[in-house]
Amino acid sequence: MVNNQGETSARGQTTGNQTNVTGAVPSQWTFRNIDSDRDLELTDHEFTRVSGDIYSRWDANRDARLDQDEFYTGLYTVFDTSRDRRITQNEFTRGWRNWGIGGQQVSYGTFDANGDGILDQNEFRTGFDRFDYYDRWDTNRDGVLAQNEFNTSMYDVWDANSDNVLAENEFNDLAGRRWF
């Protein structure tokens, strides 16, 4: 399981030849319209509308399974908040803190293998592989993420205080950052 936070963008928009796979929460999805029972808390079931949409956008080959390449491409795009296909130290630090691994200390240089001050996708993935990050999400250890595994882990990312309840402030904090 993963515990912490994240951000937002726009639904599957195409820019140039690339599709935006950031996992954006569509603007019409407010806490109030996702909270179907109106109890001011999102259950994992209610949150599935959000995480399922992110999952389908990250699933580039549309096979209803996220392999490591698809997962790390989606995650890389989320960390790259400037959308310039380069992850700076500031972007990395914020992402590291918000994606459920903030409790572990790591230096940016550990990931930046060539020391150029920018993480490319290969450095990013290699660094995360050292922490078995994908395996934390792949709970049944079959080498791919089914949507239920992704939904559970994504819910944990958004549940910043790890109390198994997604409160309105947690949801709005991440949705308002436009990071996902």
Mutual orientation of helices 168-177 and 147-158 as an angle, nearest 10°?
Answer: 100
Of the chain, the end-to-end C-alpha distance in Å amounts to 19
CATH class entry, domain 14-177: mainly alpha
Q: Is the pLDDT assigned to residue 24 strictly greater than 70?
A: no
Judge if pTM exceeds 0.75: yes
- Banded model confidence at residue 155, pLDDT cuts 50, 70, 90: very high
3-state secondary structure of 132: coil
Kindly state the average pLDDT of the residues 141-165: 93
CA 28, 32, 33, 34 torsion-angle sign:
positive
Q: For 53-111, how does the pLDDT look when each residue is reduced to its tens digit (9 = 90+)? A: 889 999 999 999 999 999 999 999 999 989 999 999 999 998 888 786 767 788 899 99
Distance of CA 162 to the CA centre of its chain: 16
Per-domain residue ranges of the chain: 14-177
- Is the pLDDT confidence value at 123 over 70? yes
